[in-house]
């Protein structure tokens, strides 16, 4: 089953656009340095809007237990996406506190970066492969950069890399390039944030709709996923 996720939503209007377009997952960022950060009160309202219409994802970056518990209480997410430098032990602890599926983001710039997936095997329900941020970046994602998707060749046939139920592709995706990304990687889940914005943190309803439609069309035409190959 294919998955389309729109992340970094922060207004009712753009969230409604994502839901109306048929996004499978919607993401809410809890990380103050990000232009997509949502405070707890508006986050609660946004999450309530999406309840039962899409799977709600809480994106957190090295959260403390206190920060995590506050976000869980307010947003009541269906999944937790960890986008920081969380160690395997910390991921395990967060999963215990959260009591719901956990996805770990892995920064990718070269094939060797995929080796990090193995250390989370058995601890997460999936991974998100994102472009590694620039060296001086103040946040781990949302920079609109891609990585060379060709390094994922053979990914699904390497048991040591297989993290769990699914793998999601992220990093610099747009309505223009998502079809190529799906064709090259043969992954069955994609995530977009900056690629549906007019400027950092400002989502555009038309771009959201175009991305979902382009991803759906590409999934329909794509060969079997790597997991099924």
pLDDT at 1: 79
**Residue recorded with tokens 């001086």:** 136
* Beta strand pairing call for 197-199 and 202-203: antiparallel
Range with the poorest average pLDDT among 65-74, 138-147, 215-224: 138-147
pLDDT value at residue 49: 98
Coil vs helix vs strand at 48: helix
Tokens of 105: 């983001």
Q: What is the sign of the dihedral through the CA atoms of 61, 110, 101 and 185?
A: positive
pLDDT score, position 145: 79
Over residues 114-127, the pLDDT tens digits come to: 999 989 988 999 99
* Residues known to be catalytic: 7, 130
- pTM to 2 decimals? 0.91
Backbone angles phi, psi at 127, to 5 degrees: -130, 155
Q: What is the C-alpha separation between 104 and 88, in angstroms, rounded?
A: 10
pLDDT exceeds 80 at position 93 = yes
Q: Give yes or no for residue 80 having a pLDDT over 60.
A: yes
Share of the chain above pLDDT 90, in %: 80
Mean pLDDT (the chain, rounded): 90
Residue 134 pLDDT > 80, yes or no?
no
- Model confidence pLDDT, tens digit, residues 151-200: 987 675 444 445 456 899 999 999 999 999 999 998 999 999 999 999 99
What does the alpha-carbon distance between residue 97 and residue 107 come to, in Å, rounded to a whole number? Answer: 24
Q: How confident is the model at residue 229 (pLDDT cuts 50, 70, 90)?
A: very low
What pLDDT was estimated at residue 154? Answer: 67
Q: What percent of the chain has pLDDT over 70?
A: 87
Which pLDDT score, from 0 to 100, does residue 159 have? Answer: 45
Task: Enumerate residues 6+ apart whose C-beta is below 8 A from 215.
Answer: 2, 4, 178, 179, 182, 190
């Amino acid at each position: 089953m294919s998955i389309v996720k729109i992340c970094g939503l922060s207004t009712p209007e753009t969230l409604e656009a994502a839901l109306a377009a048929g996004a499978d997952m919607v993401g809410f960022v809890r990380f103050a340095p990000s232009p997509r950060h949502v405070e707890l009160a508006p986050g609660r309202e946004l999450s309530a809007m999406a309840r039962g219409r899409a799977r709600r994802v809480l994106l957190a970056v090295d959260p403390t237990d206190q920060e995590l518990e506050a976000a869980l209480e307010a947003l009541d997410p269906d999944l937790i996406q960890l986008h920081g430098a969380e160690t395997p032990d910390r991921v395990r602890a967060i999963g215990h506190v959260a009591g719901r599926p956990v996805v770990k983001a892995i920064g990718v710039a070269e094939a060797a970066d995929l080796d990090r997936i193995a250390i989370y095997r058995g601890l997460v329900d999936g991974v998100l492969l994102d472009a590694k941020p620039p060296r001086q970046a103040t946040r781990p994602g949302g920079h609109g950069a891609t990585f060379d998707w060709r390094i994922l060749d053979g990914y699904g046939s390497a048991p040591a890399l297989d993290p769990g139920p699914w793998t999601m592709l992220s990093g610099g995706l747009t309505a223009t390039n998502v079809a190529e990304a799906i064709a090259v990687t043969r992954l069955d889940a994609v995530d977009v944030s900056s690629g549906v914005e007019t400027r950092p943190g400002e989502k555009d309803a038309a771009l959201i709709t175009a991305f979902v439609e382009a991803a759906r069309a590409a999934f329909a035409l794509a060969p079997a996923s790597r997991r099924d190959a």
